[in-house]
Amino acid sequence: MADRLLFHLFILGSLSFSAIIISEASQCSINGLPLVRNISEIPQDNYGRGGLSHSTVAGSVLHGMKEVEVWLQTYAPGSRTPIHRHSCEEVFVVLKGSGTLYLAPSSHMKYPGNPQEFSIFPNSTFNVPVNDAHQIANTDEREDLQVLVMISRPPVKVFIYADWFMPHTASKLKFPYYWDEQCLQPPPQKDEL
């Protein structure tokens, strides 16, 4: 009798355990999504960053992308990315609005140093070299800045700097990055970066 009760409890336990796995899988996978998707209907979030709207158009964690990842991001007037670098290639296409790219080309200094400034404008495109510290800012007072972003080697591992003179060794690794946090299970081993 007691054995049977234990058996039933065991079955109940396994059922609720699989239910949890299934609900997490459906939240964090492309299974069931149509092949052709409407960008306007892709979920967007600010991930706690004021003035940002981020959509993962095609991602490694959500969509199983292996080599590249594509994001659509909108920056409200005055908002900007943190100063950061990553060991992947990154290409921007400016869809709307204007702003400034700050780029500190990699040098042999111990910190990024004073960045070069470039104006970015509608239909402009630029790529950020691997590991160059950079920042994108919407420096316009009225219009949103909207960019399509492509990165290689996803999921992205980002090193964040408090300012341009923070030593590389003091920059902070953010991995998984905010948009992958809920779904990515980072491998247990230490990252080589």
Ligand X SMILES: *[C@@H]1O[C@H](CO)[C@@H](O)[C@H](O)[C@H]1NC(C)=O
- Residue numbers in the known binding site for Zn(2+) are 84, 86, 90, 134
Q: Shortest gap between Cβ of 36 and ligand X (angstroms)?
A: 9
Q: Shortest gap between Cβ of 40 and ligand X (angstroms)?
A: 4
| Identity of the residue, 123 or 185, whose beta carbon is nearer to ligand X in the bound complex | 123
| Identity of the residue, 38 or 185, whose beta carbon is nearer to ligand X in the bound complex | 38
Q: Helix, strand, or coil here: 111?
A: coil
| Identity of the residue, 58 or 160, whose beta carbon is nearer to ligand X in the bound complex | 58
| Identity of the residue, 25 or 39, whose beta carbon is nearer to ligand X in the bound complex | 39
Residues that bind ligand X (CB under 6 A): 38, 40-41, 122-123
Binding site listing: 84, 86, 90, 134
Q: Shortest gap between Cβ of 21 and ligand X (angstroms)?
A: 31
Question: Two tokens at 56?
Answer: 């993962």
Q: Shortest gap between Cβ of 122 and ligand X (angstroms)?
A: 4
